[in-house]
Amino acid sequence: MKASRMAVSGIFCIAIVFLFLHSASAAVMDKTISTGQIRIHYPDSTPSSCEAILIGVGTSQSRNDYDYLSEELNEYGYIVVIVDHNPGNMVKTDATKFRNCALEVKANLVNWMSGTNCTRIAHWIMGGHSAGGQAAQNAVSGNATLADAIFSIDPYDCSSTGNVNIPALYWGFDVTSCFVDKNKAAKAAYYRSTGKRVFQKVKKVYTWGPCGYSPLYFHCSFCEGHCLACTNCMTTPDYFFLDVANSVKKFIDAAFYGTWSKSNLSISSPTTPVTLYVDSDQP
């Protein structure tokens, strides 16, 4: 990231730090629409044919909780839309509300991007974090044309979601945290994908911090202030977001513009300790 984040010991300081350190290379647009609340992150320079990544928020999260991740995705020229499809309610697992919000975004994003170079969306990559990932999995499985690919971040419970047959990328963890069963989260979503599929599983690493001996990487590492009642009281390392964004770039390139292979899907020199599973690999 262009601006390194200062280490803080409390989750309430993180938002304040972010106001001073947020990169100027991308712009942010907040909108309240009929089906929810969204935050659009877009780079200063976009191609005329853009990739759009839509991410549904997790339980008790909001559209302003994924700025660091979005910023790194912007570095690759992607437009990122953070979707709160059930604002004011902590529950985010409703697939119908996710679908309706996604459809409204799809119908209007190019118009909202007027004034940029983006005149059409080449591919829609949809998914979500935690409960939003569960909602996305069910929404996409029930609506074949809703998305071109999936990118989800440790979806909450995909043990009984519908199957999806489009390219899918999931990030998950080899540690159980935040009331999440790792066998029902990203791992289960990976098995629910019947097409090209990728699972980036972050290895279990514990370290001492303000909360005691805690996992360095866990279910809410993707969020600025972590999640309600789910934190290790440490700032997620910058390199984590860099590695996630790089994996998305590799995924989109392999799925739509290059050759689908495990080597092409591998993160470039990752710092985050991950194990990569592709297609027939068994986590």
Q: How far apart (Å, rounded) are the C-alpha atoms in residues 158 and 163?
A: 10
Q: State the pLDDT at residue 176.
A: 87
- Return the number of other C-beta atoms located less than 10 Å from residue 212's C-beta: 9
Locate 234 and state its tokens. Answer: 């440490």
* Whether the Cβ atoms of residue 41 and residue 111 lie closer than 8 Å to each other: no
Specify if 155 maps to a domain: yes
Question: What tokens appear for 79 in the block?
Answer: 């437009």
Does some domain include residue 68? Answer: yes
Residues of the chain falling short of pLDDT 70: 1-25
H helices of 131-237, in order, are 131-142, 186-191
**Measured between alpha carbons, how far is 167 from 154 in angstroms, rounded to an integer?**
16
> Apex CA 224: angle with CA 273 and CA 46, to 5°?
85
Q: For the chain, what's the residue count? A: 283
User: Which residue, chain included where needed, has tokens 């964004």?
Assistant: 245
Other CB atoms within 10 Å distance of the CB of residue 113: 19
Per the structure, how many domains does the chain have?
1
pLDDT of res. 7: 37
Residue 15 lies in a domain: no
Would you say 197 and 278 are in contact if contact means Cβ atoms under 8 Å apart? yes
Separation of alpha carbons 251 and 31, rounded Å: 28
The helix/strand/coil state of 274 is strand
Q: List for the chain the helix, strand, coil content (%; round to 5).
A: 30, 25, 45
Residues 6 or more apart whose CB falls under 8 angstroms from that of 77 comprise 43, 45, 46, 47, 50, 51
Query: How many Cα neighbours within 13 Å face the side chain of 102?
Result: 31
Residue 194 lies in a domain: yes
Q: Is residue 271 part of a domain?
A: yes
Q: What's the rounded Cα separation, in Å, for the pair 153 and 163?
A: 17
CA-based nearest residue to 236, from 272, 261, 264:
272
Residue 28 lies in a domain: yes
**Calpha distance 240→221 (Å, rounded):** 8
- Quick one: pLDDT at residue 68? 95
* Residue 178: inside a domain: yes
Rounded Cα–Cα distance for residues 128 and 123 (Å): 16
Which residue segment(s) compose the domain that 164 sits in?
Answer: 24-201+236-277
- Any domain includes 210: no
Return the closest-CA partner of residue 65 out of 30, 105, 35, 111.
30
Specify the pLDDT at position 12.
35
Distance, C-alpha 264 to centroid of its chain: 20
How open is the CA angle 237-65-126, to the nearest 5 degrees? 100
Residue 69 sits in a domain of what CATH number? 3.40.50.1820
